[in-house]
Amino acid sequence: MIFETISTSNHEEVVFCHNKDAGLKAIIAIHNTVLGPALGGTRMWPYASEAEALNDVLRLSRGMTYKAAVSGLNLGGGKAVIWGDPNKDKSEALFRAFGRFVNSLGGRYITAEDVGIDVNDMEYVLRETEYVTGVHQVHGGSGDPSPFTAYGTLQGLMAALQVKFGNEEVGNYSYAVQGVGHVGMEFVKLLRERGAKVFVTDINKDAVQRAVDEFGCEAVALDDIYDVDADVYSPTALGGTINEKTLPRLKCKVICGAANNQLANDQMGVEVAAKGMLYAPDYAVNAGGLMNVSLEIDGYNRERAMRMMRTIYYNLGRIFEISKRDGIPTNQAADRMAEERITAIGKLRLPHLGAPAPASRAAAATDPPSAPGLHAGPVRLAIHS
Ligand code: NAD
């Protein structure tokens, strides 16, 4: 059953991590390393079952492959999930045990934060492995990627507004934002700074209150977010919220948010387009955090990071062009753009050169991979003129 699941999702490697003393149950999934080492965050969530955790990590890691590819990064796709309640089950031992598993992969997988994980947790992971990004600046990291993800989402949003309405003035439109966590709170702040009308919801009542008090958002009940009469629906909590039940209720013209795997399935992309809505593909929109942490591999530079965020605007523009050109929904256009790049680079068959681990924590590079696409460490494609 597990091998069947893994083979259909086309993963290179899936690692089940267990440490009884630390209470660790985690899964690391490496989807594809043709473009580079698999970089993707770790999510901590109280999954209802093992199957649910496995499905989540497989979907998320595949998404990272596509995200890196569409964003022009020299990275592959990977992700990890820790099965546990982030409010109750965190400990130093848990994260250090997890860090040892990450280290055992020798740099084929590089981790970062995702839902339920913060910078402090990653610092425990860092005690066991160099293959961590998104750690605090004092460790040579770039800190929490969430503000960059939010800023990148804004760039993607502007591209979508431009295509849908012929005007990318963010403040001219209204928004229904689902989830005001690390990314969502930054995102509503950016929207409100530009004068937009913003409706918010979240299972965390304190977060909703903060969005109302600090940023002047309007709160709506959890399930009512799908009925809000807003120009843009921004899923910024968990995935799968665009589905057969919710789509008939949505009144928006644009769907653009930071959550991963927003469409419950690929067919939803067809149905969204059929309703005349413009879907800004999630993994292209929310690549800001990945772009930001990816710079840690070369030595972090904030100015370069901010410039990089702007590429999201152009990547989205390219996706919308492909969608129009080929007459396909935008989710398929994004996949096409990503797959074309992976195929093209995968065919190069040039040798990889080793490169050091994240600059400030430099360790000697591991041996170059024995075959193109098989990454033994955080190596980058050599630039051949
Ligand atoms: P977070 O845990 O800080 O925030 C998620 C928020 O969603 C929380 O406030 C939570 O209470 C809320 N939530 C959960 N279920 C909900 C529901 N059913 N209805 C309403 N609210 C609900 O996580 P985050 O880092 O802000 O990430 C948000 C989303 O963006 C995730 O899908 C994540 O994978 C994606 N993402 C995050 C980053 C990043 O840089 N953090 C990068 C790329 C993608």
* Residue 215 domain flag: yes
Q: CATH code at 85? A: 3.40.50.10860
pLDDT tens, 11-28? 999 999 999 999 999 999
Whether residue 380 is predicted with pLDDT greater than 60 in this model: the reply is: no
* Residue 271 domain flag: yes
Confidence of residue 301 (pLDDT cuts 50, 70, 90): confident
Cα separation of 287 and 68, whole Å?
A: 8
Q: Is 278 in the pocket of ligand 1 (CB under 6 A)?
A: no
Ligand 1 centroid – CA 153 distance (Å)? 13
On the 0-12 / 13-18 / 19+ scale of CB atoms within 10 A, 330 is buried
Give the residue carrying structure tokens 């690390």.
Answer: 182
Confidence of residue 361 (pLDDT cuts 50, 70, 90): low
Q: Is 117 in the pocket of ligand 1 (CB under 6 A)?
A: no
Residues 308 and 187 in one domain: yes
Cα separation of 262 and 331, whole Å?
A: 10
Residues 159 and 123 in one domain: no
Confidence of residue 53 (pLDDT cuts 50, 70, 90): very high
Ligand 1 centroid – CA 169 distance (Å)? 25
Looking at every residue in the chain, the average pLDDT score rounds to 90
Number of folded domains that form the chain: 2
Give the residue carrying structure tokens 């039940």.
Answer: 245
Q: How much of the chain, in percent, has pLDDT values that exceed 70? A: 90
SS3 assignment, position 319: helix
Average pLDDT over residues 253-273: 96
Report the 10 Å Cβ neighbour count for 89. Answer: 16
Average pLDDT over residues 371-378: 40
On the 0-12 / 13-18 / 19+ scale of CB atoms within 10 A, 211 is buried
Give the residue carrying structure tokens 């690391």.
Answer: 28
pLDDT tens, 273-292? 999 999 999 999 999 989 99
Domain containing 47 equals 2-144+355-384
Q: Of 168, 206, 204, 170, whose CA–CA distance to 189 is shortest? A: 170
Residues 306 and 164 in one domain: yes
Beta strand 352-353 with 174-178: parallel, antiparallel or unpaired? unpaired
* Residue 289 domain flag: yes
Residues 139 and 155 in one domain: no
Q: Give me the pLDDT at residue 371, please.
A: 38
Check residue 16 and report its DSSP letter: E
| Cα maximum dimension of the chain | 57
Whether residue 230 is predicted with pLDDT greater than 90 in this model: the reply is: yes
Q: Give me the pLDDT at residue 158, please.
A: 98
Write the residue with the smallest CA distance to atom 9 of ligand 1.
181
Global pTM reads: 0.84
Cα separation of 333 and 323, whole Å?
A: 5
Residues 325 and 188 in one domain: yes
SS (HEC) of 257-280? CCCCCCECCCHHHHHHHHCCCEEC
pLDDT tens, 329-359? 999 999 999 999 999 999 886 665 555 566 5
Q: Give me the pLDDT at residue 261, please.
A: 87
Whether residue 139 is predicted with pLDDT greater than 90 in this model: the reply is: no
Q: Of 330, 361, 271, 283, whose CA–CA distance to 61 is shortest? A: 283
Start-to-end CA span in the chain (Å): 47
Atom of ligand 1 nearest to the CA of 282: 44
Residues 184 and 288 in one domain: yes
Q: Is 130 in the pocket of ligand 1 (CB under 6 A)?
A: no
Whether residue 382 is predicted with pLDDT greater than 80 in this model: the reply is: no
pLDDT tens, 141-185? 887 788 999 999 999 999 999 999 999 999 999 999 999 999 999
Residues involved in catalysis:
79
Q: CATH code at 213? A: 3.40.50.720
Q: Give me the pLDDT at residue 355, please.
A: 59
* Residue 348 domain flag: no
* Residue 196 domain flag: yes
On the 0-12 / 13-18 / 19+ scale of CB atoms within 10 A, 109 is buried
* Residue scoring higher pLDDT (17 or 138): 17
* Residue 339 domain flag: no
* Residue scoring higher pLDDT (190 or 296): 190
Q: Is 183 in the pocket of ligand 1 (CB under 6 A)?
A: yes
Average pLDDT over residues 101-108: 97
Q: Is 202 in the pocket of ligand 1 (CB under 6 A)?
A: yes
Q: Give me the pLDDT at residue 375, please.
A: 43
Ligand 1 centroid – CA 65 distance (Å)? 20
* Residue 344 domain flag: no
Q: How much of the chain, in percent, has pLDDT values that exceed 90? A: 77
Give the residue carrying structure tokens 């086309």.
Answer: 10
Residues 218 and 280 in one domain: yes
Residues 182 and 326 in one domain: yes
Cα separation of 11 and 111, whole Å?
A: 17
Residues 137 and 151 in one domain: no
